[in-house]
Structure 1
Amino acid sequence: MVTVKDKVFAPFIEKTTLEQRIVEMGGEISRDYKGRNPLFVVVLNGAFMFASDLLKGVDVLCEISFIRLASYEQTQSTGKVKQILGLAETVQGREVIVIEDIVDTGLTMSELVSQLKAKGAASVEVVTLLHKPEALKTAIDLKYVGFEIENRFVVGYGLDYDGLGRNLDAIYVLAD
């Protein structure tokens, strides 16, 4: 058990389980994009740890950029996406792979995918470490999913509770 701010979290996905699945995902992306030059767009702040480990296992030439979006307040999705830090690279004619930490309502990813397509991306795929199918409010195509989880609040491995808990090396779930 770990305490983050005023909440207690229980172990949920162990470090070794995360590492193993992320290596597998890197292999899948490498096979799918062999001989191509995708642009990876990492969604900050949450996806930084996942992206770092994932990209170590991707063996195709690629570029990496970062974007920062927000749709959360404390433990609840606001349902509104705010773009905070935009993408500097052009995506016109590029194959784009968005790296996200968690997809729950789908609102953030839907908005980002729409924005990238509107900017002329040749294709946009999403890779997410965690997906909460029960929480979806809009349809979203996720090409690569690390783990499907129940609709519970999680922290660790980049995911936070009010900015805290990102540095945990495993995923923890809010205790009942």
Structure 2
Amino acid sequence: MGKGFRVSIILITAFFISVFAIIEANILYTAANEKPRPSDVIIVLGAHLWGDQPSPLLRYRLDQAVALYRQGYGKYIIVSGAQGDDELATEAYAMAAYLMRHNISKDIIYLEENSYSTYENMKYSKEIMDREGFQSAVIVTNTFHVYRALEIGKHFSIPVSGSPAKMHPSMLTKLKYYVREFFAVIKFLIIKK
């Protein structure tokens, strides 16, 4: 193994570590500092269901949306998510049912049931916003996910703010989500999807 090869490996490794550090810093900074702004609509991004019920991660998002709605951050709520292979309902349907059980009127809830990714969440939610005349949105998702969700919202020219919902208390679980999110951000930055 020649000296030039070793130098190349060191430079590539240093580059990867630098990119990882910069992106993770943005993810962590946004998770800690992003604050919602009063908007036309609150968008809750889908997450895995347990059967036809929201998983704990999704319940944190929904509880955050309920609090935001009651505090006047938005007059309407879009719940966004399709039905996964192991789910018994669309994520949007399960989220709407959860919100209604928490005394949110069905009249202010819009279901977006076609999205299978964060990119599609924002794309199809923007279509609802355009149809209904909504201009601005608060995006509700868990802490690790807010940075990418906001970047995708900006990609669709939506004036957005974020409201980070809490996460599972396990440090190992948090670490897994934050590391996985790095690769999701890289994918979005490269292919814009």
Q: Shorter-chain TM-score: which interval?
A: 0.3 to 0.5
Greater per-residue helix proportion:
2
TM-score, normalising length: structure 1: 0.38
TM-score, normalising length: structure 2: 0.36
Specify the structure having the higher radius of gyration (Cα). Answer: 2
Greater per-residue strand proportion:
1
